[in-house]
Each structure stands twice: as structure tokens, then as C-alpha cells.
Structure 1
Amino acid sequence: MRLDKFVCKSTALIKSEAIALINAGKVLVNGEAFLSESAQVHENNEILLDGKRLIARPFRYLLMNKKVNTICSNVDELYPSLFNDVSIDKVSELHIAGRLDADTTGLVLITDDGRWSYNIITPSCKCPKVYRVDLSRPIADDTAEKFKQGLQLQGEQELTLPASLSVISPQRVLLTITEGKFHQVKRMFAAVGNKVTALHREQIGSVVLDVAPGQWRYLSAVEIQSFYPPAKKQSILGNSS
């Protein structure tokens, strides 16, 4: 974690105040003054401010059902921020682990733990995301095979990673992907001559959406741990016993 973020997460200071104290040499990391706010620190480091050890507040992990015409941003823009519906302290410290477009609804995971969200959004981690997709025309018979083989999207050099398609009705399908290219689902269907008319994310990894639009809840310990690699997961479980 960046040093300025750690200081903010351990105190009531805002970012500019934390940076000023760091630059003034008021913050010691393992006995040494770190003058750069961007220095990376670990929770196991001894970090002191004016001689008092700082302890970061616990990370937070939330599930939310994103409403249509809201944005995955910390501030309102053309559409309102979905964070307007998250009524907890220091909401500005939170970020989305895998954003959705304004017109897309469904499951978003929210956290202030950057290492945790990395396991969700990085393609190499192959975290599956399941979308319910409504289409403008009936799905072609060969679409599932094309998605399984990978598609060449416009402007992309590499094929999409293998995706799984399950047909619910001629114009409604479930699509599972393990990456998150820009507007990927919409571009995939455009590449096979169809158009997405509605898009809703139902599941990320083993976590399934189970709250009403605009509502949120905290993730359980099991849900949080499910996004860590097996070795890390065992360590966490061991530390909790």
C-alpha cells in the first residue's frame, strides 16, 4: 500500500494532510523517515507518526446490485455515482473491482483492498464473470463454438479468451468470461452480427448476486477468501483459527 494511503487509513487525516506530514519527515517506517508519499509499505512494517504506531483500519468488502444509469465512479458525472447508495464511513476510500458501464446492471464488488481486487480483475487470474445478455435478434447456432474458440475483436491483436455461452431463450443467454476488455460483451456479440440490448452481471467467481437493485451487503469471510489463490487462502484460514 502507498504510504499516504496507509496514513489516511490509520488516522482521520485526508490525503493532502498525510502527504504534508510525510514530506516533513514526521512519518517513520521501521525507524527511517520516508519522505515520499508513494513509497510502498506493508502492514507488518512499524509505521510511526509523531512517535505513535499507526494501525490501519480493517479492509472492507461489499457486494452491490448496480442500478441502471449509475456509474462506477467515486464522483457524479453525467450519471450519478453508485456510491451514493453506499452509506458507510470514508466511502471515498473504496473502489470497484471490475467496473460496469452506466447502462449495465448487476453485481459489483467494492473494496479498499487493492491486492484483493487484483485477483478479480487481472486476466491471468481467470476469475469467471457471468452475464445475462438480452439480444436484438435470435442467437445463431454457431455462436457458442465461436466464443469457445475466441474472437478477434476490432482493435485487438489477440483473440478473446475462451468464453462459455448458455442459451436461455433465442434472445437471452448467459455468458461467462474470464477477462474484462473495454465493452467486451457488447463487442463480442457485435463481432458475430448481433447486438446487446440489456446486460446484467449475475456472478463473479463463486459470489452470486442476492440483493435488490441499489442495495448492498458485506461479503462473508468465505466469499472474501474465495478470491485468493489456494496458498494464500490457507494462510488466511490458518491465521483466523
Structure 2
Amino acid sequence: MKLVRLIANLGYGSRKQVSAMFREGRITDADGEVLYADDKAEHAAIRIDGEPLDPPAGLTLMLHKPLGTTCSTKDPGRIVYDLLPPRFRLRAPLLSTVGRLDRDTSGLLLMTDDGQLLHRVVSPKSQLHKVYEATMAEDLRGDEAGIFASGTLMLESETTPLAPAALEVVDARHARLTLSEGRYHQARRMFAAVGNHVQALHRSRIGGLGLGELAAGEWRVLGEDDLARLFSC
């Protein structure tokens, strides 16, 4: 792939804008030697204004989504892309969220431009467990774990019962819910089905991957070891 196209696809600008960057001498190799548009160079050796290029296509990252942000590219409020470098929104292929967390849910969100990985994560066949920490409006009754694990719970307006889910009671109003599927607002609707209301919801884990020390609004690129951990559970 020609360097102009490579850099444009990473969101640094249009091909015309990237060509201008070459003419201005802003694109160099790791030793500071100016590169030209028809040069050949390894991705890892290219610098723009002295900084390494963003990761190539196949990028996957994890984001600690804060409350009040939406998983959308177009929204009048704050969106998750606002937490990333602006050029990430312009990458080709598109950097997409892997599933969604609603505005009022915080926690672990994956984003990738790898279509095969995205489909593998969201596919029901993968049965990739997702763990949610829920704060309830009312005390738990005590029978929720059995109901959720039964595989017979029906959500309103649906015709197929939910797959069995695991509920761990932390205290009277806090619970840890592990799901193997991802229906619309599933965690909130499950608690509503047993007469309670979720006041706060936080996704702490997907598969074998947790947030670690990432604070709300922070993100990091995932490596091969991270992706292996993701599918290890």
C-alpha cells in the first residue's frame, strides 16, 4: 500500500492533505530522515511530526466508558469517540464499538476495526460471558439467582426465554450478574422482570478481560495476549 493511502486510512487527513504533509517534510523515518510519498517504509518506522504512526488496520482497544457518553458516531451529547484521538473516528476501515453500553451504563467497552473479531465477540455462538455490577433501588428478594439461572425467564415483548445467567449477591442492594448473551438493555430488563429497578450499572469484565487500572475515560490498545485472555473464559 502506498504511504499516502496508508496514512490517510489511519485518519490523519485526506490523501490531498497527507500529500501536503509529505511536501512539508513532516513525515520521516525513525532516524528523522524525510520520507517522500513514493518511498517504501515499514509501518513501525514511520513518524509524523516525530511521533509514531497509530496502530495499523486490525486495531482493537478497550475503553473505560464513563457515564453520560453514548456508543454512537452521531449524537448531540458526548460520544465515546470524544475520548479518543479525533483521527480515530476517520480511520478506514471504521473503528466500531463491539456491542453497546447505554448512556447510563459505565465500564468495559471494546472497539475494533477488525470485522471478524467484532462478529466473533458478539456472536451468540461464542457465549462470551459479560459481568455487570448492579446497584438496585430496592433490596433484593433472595429468589433472583434461581430465577435468572432457570433458563425460563421471559422479558416483556419477547417470545424466547433468556439463557441461564449467574447472579452473585454482594449485599442487599448490590449484585454481580454474568450474562452469556446480549439482548437489548438485558440486565436492566431482567431486574425489572423481578420487580426491581437498576439505579447504576457497570460492566466490569468481558470474557477473561477486565478493566484493570483503567480509570473512567481512559483507554488502551489491546495486544495479542489481551485478545487471547478475552477468549480464555
CA separation of 1:169/1:112 partners in 2, compared to 1, >3 Å: closer, same or farther? same
The normalised TM-score by structure 2 is 0.72
Task: Name the CA distance, whole Å, in 2 between partners of 1:12 and 1:213.
Answer: 30
CA drift at 1:197: 0.4
**Matches of residues 43-82 of structure 1 in structure 2 within 5 Å?**
57-77=56-76, 79-82=77-80
Q: Where in structure 2 are the equivalents of 1:62-211 lying within 5 Å?
A: 62-77=61-76, 79-87=77-85, 89-92=87-90, 93-150=94-151, 151-210=153-212, 211=214
* Cα distance in structure 1, aligned partners of 2:81 and 2:87: 11
Q: Which stretches in structure 2 are left out of the alignment for 5+ residues? A: 16-42, 44-54
Counterpart CA distance in 2 for 1:131 and 1:122 is: 19
- Secondary structure (helix, strand or coil) at the match of 1:133 reads strand
Identity %: 34
Equivalent AA in structure 2 for residue 73 of structure 1 = S
Letter in 2 for 1:80: R
| Conserved 8 A contact 2:136-2:174 | yes
* Alpha-carbon separation, structure 1, partners of 2:175 and 2:131: 10
- Displacement of 1:87 in angstroms is 1.6
The AA in structure 2 aligned to 1:12 is A
Query: How far has the Cα of 1:142 moved from its partner?
Result: 1.0
1:123-179 per-residue CA deviation (whole Å, 9 max, x = no partner) reads 121000000000011111110010001310011111111100001111000000011
Equivalent residue of 1:91, what SS? helix
In structure 1, what is the Cα distance between the partners aligned to 2:224 and 2:5? 21
The RMSD of aligned alpha carbons is: 2.6
- SS of structure 2 residue aligned to 1:189: helix
Conservation of the 8 A alpha-carbon contact between 2:130 and 2:206:
yes
Give the number of equivalent residue pairs: 184
From 222, 226, 230, the equivalent of 1:223 is 226
* Contact 1:144–1:164 (CA under 8 A) maintained in structure 2: yes
Contiguous gaps of at least 5 residues in structure 1: 1-7, 19-54, 230-241
Letter in 2 for 1:100: L
Deviation track 1:22-78 (CA, whole Å, cap 9, x = no partner) reads xxxxxxxxxxxxxxxxxxxxxxxxxxxxxxxxx99431111111011100112333x
Q: Is the 8 A contact 1:116 1:228 kept in 2?
A: no
Task: Quote the Cα distance in structure 2 between the aligned partners of 1:74 and 1:160.
Answer: 30
What is the TM-score normalised by the length of structure 1? 0.70
Structure 1 residue runs of 4+, over 6 Å off?
none
Counterpart secondary structure, 1:214: coil
Distance 1:134 1:228, change over 3 A: closer
Query: 2:161 and 2:172 mapped to 1: Cα distance?
Result: 26
**Cα distance in structure 1, aligned partners of 2:107 and 2:67:** 9
SS in 1 for 2:145: helix
